[in-house]
């Protein structure tokens, strides 16, 4: 027999106006918000005696911010806050890291990092995480942060490395790949960039495909706290994905040492929307060579003629 829900308790929150006034619930327990122009507070919804505490305070006013959280392999709960601020009228980004151990609502460690970029919009702050991935992605400034080594990485200059990828369009074709990734997928081992791939053959039917490039960190490229990612694998799918999400995180086979990951993709075909899932196999790395990705697309898991009823908002997350 079910019983109606009853009122238990409530927590009063005082937050700033937008864009500083957004509140995020993390881990089903912590509410984090910008209480003033320069102060972040954390509300523990499970606590009754002292539910609120100040976790960060600074002199410079915060212009905008975003927050995300993850649980590390050793069980620590980590909260990352990306904020934009002005110091001496010069805008900049900062990344805050708060580590929690066990059931304690008080951070056991707090660190701050200056984001090494000058190309950003102060009020467009976006922070992307990927489940248990050790990487953070900053879409606005096209940087990746390696949480293990605490190093920022930028993407290398765009280049199609393999002839197989170039020849997908045909020898007498005109093809074009968007130089900026349409989507970034963060896995446990790689940063996967997804590009739209347009083929315009001189004879025949035009086709659209998707270019996948997998990147790894290159610690030998680090200079002054910032490095360049290295493209280790590349492949083309004949399906034109409009959105891609991580469905199953990357794992390394113990015998072959190849890496497997499963992605979920959305494909628009005329009035229908198809949702496919595909397996990516990345062979064991070989020096600085770029190796081909084996991409196997499986049957669609959803099809609808009304695009507004499927996969709205953010794509699904890894399970």
Distance CA 113, CA 96 (A): 6
pLDDT at 146: 93
pLDDT at 229: 95
Report the candidate in 290, 270, 271, 273 with the shortest Cα–Cα distance to residue 282.
290
pLDDT at 295: 92
Which residue would you say has higher pLDDT here, 278 or 90? 278
pLDDT at 111: 93
Per-position b or e across 109-131, b if 16+ CB within 10 A of its CB: eeeebebebeebeeeebebbbbe
Length of the chain counted residue by residue: 319
Which residue would you say has higher pLDDT here, 154 or 108? 154
What average pLDDT does range 282-300 have in this prediction? Answer: 88
pLDDT in tens, 37-91: 788 888 887 776 666 788 899 888 888 888 888 887 777 888 999 998 887 777 8
pLDDT at 240: 77
Distance CA 185, CA 246 (A): 6
Q: In this model, does residue 19 exceed pLDDT 60?
A: no
pLDDT at 170: 47
Which phi-psi region, left, alpha or beta, contains residue 235 (left: φ > 0; alpha: ψ -120 to 50)? Answer: beta
Distance CA 139, CA 85 (A): 18
The DSSP secondary structure of 161-200, one letter per residue, reads --HHHHGGG-TTEEEEE-SS-SEEEE-SS-EEEEEEEEEE
Q: For the chain, give the mean pLDDT.
A: 79
Q: In this model, does residue 5 exceed pLDDT 70?
A: no
What average pLDDT does range 129-158 have in this prediction? Answer: 89
Q: In this model, does residue 175 exceed pLDDT 70?
A: no
What average pLDDT does range 117-136 have in this prediction? Answer: 80
pLDDT at 185: 94
Residue 309 DSSP SS3: helix
Residue 84 DSSP SS3: strand
Q: In this model, does residue 164 exceed pLDDT 80?
A: no
pLDDT at 201: 55
Q: Say if residues 136 and 162 touch (Cβ distance below 8 Å).
A: no
Instruction: List, in order, residues 6 or more apart from 229 with CB less than 8 Å away.
Output: 144, 153, 154, 155, 156, 191, 215, 216, 217, 218
% of the chain beyond a pLDDT of 90:
27
pLDDT at 107: 85
pLDDT in tens, 214-261: 999 988 888 887 999 999 999 988 887 778 889 999 999 999 999 999
pLDDT at 10: 56
Q: In this model, does residue 296 exceed pLDDT 60?
A: yes
pLDDT at 311: 45
Phi first, then psi: give them for residue 194, nearest 5 degrees. Answer: -115, 125
pLDDT at 70: 83
| ∠ CA 292-251-279, rounded to 5° | 50
- Residue in the structure block whose two tokens are 């990927």: 130
Q: In this model, does residue 113 exceed pLDDT 80?
A: yes
Quick count: other Cβ atoms within 10 Å of Cβ 180?
12
pLDDT at 258: 96
What average pLDDT does range 299-312 have in this prediction? Answer: 52
What average pLDDT does range 184-198 have in this prediction? Answer: 90
pLDDT at 73: 72
């Amino acid at each position: 027999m079910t019983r109606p829900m009853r009122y238990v308790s409530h927590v009063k929150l005082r937050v700033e106006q937008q864009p500083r006034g957004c509140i995020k619930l993390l881990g089903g327990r912590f509410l984090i918000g910008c209480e003033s122009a320069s102060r972040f507070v954390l509300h523990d919804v499970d606590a009754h005696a002292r539910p609120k505490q100040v976790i960060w305070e600074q002199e410079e006013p915060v212009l905008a911010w975003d927050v995300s959280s993850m649980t590390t392999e050793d069980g620590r709960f980590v909260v990352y806050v990306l904020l934009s601020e002005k110091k001496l009228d010069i805008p900049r980004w900062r990344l805050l890291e708060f580590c929690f151990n066990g059931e304690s609502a008080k951070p056991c460690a707090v660190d701050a990092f200056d984001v090494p970029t000058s190309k950003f919009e102060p009020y467009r702050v976006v922070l992307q995480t990927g489940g248990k991935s050790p990487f953070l992605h900053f879409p606005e400034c096209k940087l990746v942060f390696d949480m293990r080594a605490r190093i920022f990485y930028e993407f290398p200059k765009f280049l199609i490395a393999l002839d197989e990828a170039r020849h997908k369009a045909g020898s007498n074709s005109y093809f074009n790949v968007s130089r900026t990734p349409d989507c970034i997928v963060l896995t446990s081992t790689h940063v996967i960039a997804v590009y739209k791939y347009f083929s315009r053959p001189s004879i025949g039917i035009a086709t659209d495909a998707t270019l996948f490039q997998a990147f790894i960190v290159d610690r030998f490229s680090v200079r002054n706290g910032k490095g360049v990612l290295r493209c280790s694998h590349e492949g083309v799918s004949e399906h034109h994905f409009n959105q891609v999400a991580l469905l199953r995180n990357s794992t390394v086979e113990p015998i072959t040492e190849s890496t497997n990951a499963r992605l979920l993709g959305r494909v628009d075909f005329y009035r229908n929307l198809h949702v496919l899932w595909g397996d990516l196999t990345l062979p064991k790395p070989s020096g600085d060579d770029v190796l081909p990705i084996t991409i196997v697309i499986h049957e669609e898991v959803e099809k609808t003629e009304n695009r507004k009823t499927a996969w709205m908002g953010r794509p699904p997350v890894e399970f």
